[in-house]
Amino acid sequence: MSVFGAFPRRRMRRMRSAEFSRRLQRETKLSVDQLILPVFVHGEPNLKESIPSMPGVERLGLNHLLRLMDKVSQHNIPAVALFPVIPMEQKSLDAKESYNPEGLIPKVIRELKKKFPDIGIITDVALDPYTVHGQDGLTNESGYVLNDETIAVLRRQALSHAEAGADIVAPSDMMDGRIAGIRSALDDHNYVNTRILSYAAKYASSFYGPFRDAVGSAKALGSSNKLNYQMDPANSNEALHEVALDIGEGADMVMVKPGLPYLDIVQRIKEKFQVPTLVYQVSGEYAMLKAASATGWIDEKSAVLETLLCMRRAGADAILTYYALQAAEWLNE
């Protein structure tokens, strides 16, 4: 037989027969160091509003967000990602609220940095919360999302976040060339240490539905889609191409999104580029886990920790997950 010797000399179950030897051969570790909590921020400081499609996640005004940050800090979670809920009257065709230096996100960054200077602040750079049509960019008369015109706005948005003290700006819009545009805007204003986390391989996915409910872009988007800028779920080589471009343009980290159905992409990217590679366990994945747990069809704790561990095994250095706080509690038990 093989050089390893045949049964019964080789019994794979021997090492699995006790926890101590299972521990000794465990290849992948999941820790709090690898968790990032996405949060939905609302402009009304005392608001706390549940999101039906995301049980346990809420739109939070600043005062509630500060309380949540206490827990983030207690559990030693390295970073949070901010997503704004923008009222309809502040949405427009030119998305000008997106780069208002006194807008919601810059204000929240300043408050968080005052009280939690050591927690990393990641901001979403994209226009969808700010456009009346819910697309990630500016559009022409026929509704097509304009690339270069959008980048000009994204540069101002990223800059307004960096000025307010954001540690990491994270473009999630999938315009071509936006990493180069944002990097040069940051460099021109001496924000040389503002990191760029590129949503490099972001797929046009059905798993973003609950997120769009949360930020209120679902209604704006209506029956439109994002197929002409987000990636086709059928493609994998294209993801490597996207990542190569974004690293070349100055991204510090790249991300794959969604998570669980796309772990083959994570593995290929990590193997090929060896750069910090993040995964986003998106709202639809969260909703599925919540729904199946609520009915008792799966055990929430073990199922969630398993999904996160599997993302690590595929090559993810860190994971954005709405379960971050809960997972940290479980890991610290």
Residues in the site for ligand PBG, rule: CB under 6 A? 124, 126, 128, 136, 172-173, 208, 211-212, 226, 282-283
Give min distance, CB of 282 to ligand PBG, in A.
4
Q: Is 96 a catalytic residue?
A: no
Place of tokens 């005062």: 63
Q: Smaller CB distance to ligand PBG: residue 211 or 262? A: 211
Q: Is 219 a catalytic residue?
A: no
User: For residues 292 and 310, what is the distance between their CA atoms, to the nearest angstrom?
Assistant: 19
Choosing from 202, 226, 270, 290, which is the catalytic residue? 202
Q: Is 159 exposed, middle or buried (0-12, 13-18, 19+ CB in 10 A)?
A: buried
Cα 76 to Cα 35, 120, 322, 327: the distances in Å are 10, 11, 16, 12
Buried b (16+ CB within 10 A) or exposed e, 121-156: bbbbbbbbbbbebbbbbbbeeeeebebeebbebbbb
Count of Cβ atoms closer than 10 Å to residue 300 Cβ: 16
Buried b (16+ CB within 10 A) or exposed e, 257-294: bbbbebbebbbbbbeebebbbbbbbbbbbbbbbbeebe
Give min distance, CB of 12 to ligand PBG, in A.
38
Q: Smaller CB distance to ligand PBG: residue 55 or 76? A: 55
User: For residues 2 and 152, what is the distance between their CA atoms, to the nearest angstrom?
Assistant: 61
Give min distance, CB of 218 to ligand PBG, in A.
9
Query: Nearest Cα to 231, choosing from 204, 205, 267, 266?
Result: 204
Give min distance, CB of 176 to ligand PBG, in A.
16
User: For residues 283 and 288, what is the distance between their CA atoms, to the nearest angstrom?
Assistant: 9
Q: Smaller CB distance to ligand PBG: residue 76 or 90? A: 90
Give min distance, CB of 72 to ligand PBG, in A.
18
Q: Smaller CB distance to ligand PBG: residue 112 or 214? A: 214
User: For residues 207 and 127, what is the distance between their CA atoms, to the nearest angstrom?
Assistant: 19
Q: Smaller CB distance to ligand PBG: residue 74 or 261? A: 261
Under a CB-based contact definition with an 8 Å cutoff, are residues 222 and 131 in contact?
Answer: no
Q: Smaller CB distance to ligand PBG: residue 58 or 173? A: 173
Choosing from 91, 226, 257, 290, which is the catalytic residue? 257
Residue in the shown chain whose Cβ atom is closest to ligand PBG: 211
Give min distance, CB of 15 to ligand PBG, in A.
38
Residues that are catalytic? 202, 257
